[in-house]
Amino acid sequence: MNNKKLNTFTLSGLIIGPILGSGIILLPPLVYNMIGSFSLIIWGIILVLGFIFALIFGKLATLFPGEGGVSLATKEVMGKKYQLLTSFYLICAVFFGPVAVLIIAAKFIQNLFPNTNLEVLALLVYLVTYLLLLSKVNFIGKLMLIVSSVITVVFLLSSIIILLNVNQYSFTLPQISFNEFGYSLLVVFWSIVGWEVIGNYSKEVDDTKTLTKSIVFSAIVISIVYIFLALAITLGDFPRDQEFKLVWLIEPIFGSFSNIVLATISLILCIGTLILFVGAVARLIASLKLTSYTSMHSSNNSPIGALNVLSSLYLITLFLVYLDFITLDELVAYSDAFFIANALIGLITAILLFEKGFLKSASFILAILFFTILIFSNIIILSIIISLFIFTYLKK
């Protein structure tokens, strides 16, 4: 075994923390505040979809390993131009998404340092992330294994304590509109974003079995954490006359230190998310061999050229946020839409590639469901997605 490679546990560490990432600190309270107890239904749907989604993209990654990830399978099945299309969708998503994660992390830190500029804090968070991205991927995997294990235990333990101390369980399912249902699914989709980029690390693992085991194990752990968190928020004895705050969840364990602990957890999870996505897309850009600079790697095999290009884009986007030209909500919405578009091409690839069986049928069903969720996206972003598709389709 090559000690520089990722094994089942270090790859799981690289997966669990980042995919929980900003989603675990944002989505459960956000969705509950939007639709109340109905959020349990939404979580049930999205976690089942996410588990199947993980299996499909894990299978694609094992069939076509390499820095290009699932785009390599798309190239084989649909041709070079569709590989570029799915790559550009993913790059567009990661143009917006990481900046949203930076702002989320900065907001939690700003609670402890209220007089510090939000964008300056976001920049400092990215500088830390950039230095970690230049480290050996095996070191990052071990680091994230430790921190994701601790954070997973904290959220699980706090949720279980809250559920065990409920005086009387009460559950009422509210009525919501079709638009609320669809928009909730679109928002919660952020929680399963990440599985489509795991394949970009396939060259860093010992063998394909390692990748498969890591994906299954990680999907189970992530689902359990989200389920217990959603149950605790919905059934726990919390004030129901005001918006739910995530800090309430860990107060039974950490008391007056809860705000500091939550800020620390948020920072670590957000950096983990950034490591996963930025690292994966930098590898994707390097694999496309667009220029000699973007294909350049460091001595640690980090795609430093592509990473520097992405970093420049993030600085520009952060400056646009500073100028109030773009908001956090818009960053998340734009990113989600491009992630779904990228996922759709991956699912179509799976439909064409897989033989008859569960994964082929599941790919077809997920493609329909993801397309339905995509319809609830911003009309401008939808227009860009459609325009890119038409341009690719007509290109010879």
80 C-beta neighbours (distance < 10 Å), count: 11
What pLDDT is stored for residue 66 in this prediction? 65
In this predicted structure, the answer to whether residue 12 has a pLDDT above a threshold of 80 is no
> Average of pLDDT values for 321-335?
81
In this predicted structure, the answer to whether residue 147 has a pLDDT above a threshold of 80 is no
> Average of pLDDT values for 340-356?
88
pLDDT class for 197, splitting at 50, 70, 90?
Answer: low
pLDDT class for 247, splitting at 50, 70, 90?
Answer: confident
Contact 67, 87 (CB under 8 A): no
- For 205, phi then psi, to 5°, come to -105, 165
> What does the angle CA 117 – CA 123 – CA 128 come to, to the nearest 5 degrees?
130
Helix (H, G, I), strand (E, B) or coil at 4: coil
Strand partners for 6: 205
Mean pLDDT of the chain: 81
Q: What are 371-384's pLDDT values in tens digits?
A: 988 887 778 888 88
> What does the angle CA 126 – CA 132 – CA 134 come to, to the nearest 5 degrees?
110
In this predicted structure, the answer to whether residue 226 has a pLDDT above a threshold of 80 is yes
What pLDDT is stored for residue 169 in this prediction? 77
In this predicted structure, the answer to whether residue 2 has a pLDDT above a threshold of 60 is no
In this predicted structure, the answer to whether residue 4 has a pLDDT above a threshold of 60 is no
Q: What are 228-241's pLDDT values in tens digits?
A: 998 999 888 888 77
Top mean pLDDT of 10-19, 211-220, 345-354 is at 345-354
Q: What percent of the chain has pLDDT over 70?
A: 89
Q: What percent of the chain has pLDDT over 90?
A: 4
Q: What are 72-82's pLDDT values in tens digits?
A: 788 888 888 88
What pLDDT is stored for residue 1 in this prediction? 41
- pTM of the complete model: 0.74
**What is the amino acid identity at position 262?**
L
pLDDT class for 251, splitting at 50, 70, 90?
Answer: confident
Pick 367 or 64 by higher pLDDT.
367
- Residue listed under structure tokens 């090559």: 2
Q: What are 13-72's pLDDT values in tens digits?
A: 667 766 776 678 778 888 888 888 888 888 888 888 888 888 888 888 777 776 566 777
What pLDDT is stored for residue 138 in this prediction? 63
In this predicted structure, the answer to whether residue 389 has a pLDDT above a threshold of 60 is yes
pLDDT class for 160, splitting at 50, 70, 90?
Answer: very high
In this predicted structure, the answer to whether residue 205 has a pLDDT above a threshold of 50 is yes
- Contacts of residue 71, defined as CB under 8 A and 6 or more positions apart, other chains included, come to 83, 86, 87, 90, 284, 287
Pick 307 or 211 by higher pLDDT.
307
Contact 25, 271 (CB under 8 A): no
DSSP for 352-391, written as a single string: HHS-SSHHHHHHHHHHHHHHHHHTTS-HHHHHHHHHHHHH
> What does the angle CA 367 – CA 373 – CA 377 come to, to the nearest 5 degrees?
130
Instruction: Determine the Cα–Cα distance for residues 91 and 266; give it in Å rounded to an integer.
Output: 24
Nearest alpha carbon to residue 100 among 322, 329, 324, 312: 329
255-274 in b/e form (b: 16+ CB < 10 A) is eeebeebbbbbbbbbbbbbb
> Average of pLDDT values for 148-171?
84
Q: What are 262-289's pLDDT values in tens digits?
A: 888 888 878 877 877 788 788 878 887 8
What pLDDT is stored for residue 368 in this prediction? 92
Tokens representing residue 146 in the block: 């430790």
What pLDDT is stored for residue 281 in this prediction? 82
- Contacts of residue 282, defined as CB under 8 A and 6 or more positions apart, other chains included, come to 133, 302, 303, 306, 307, 310
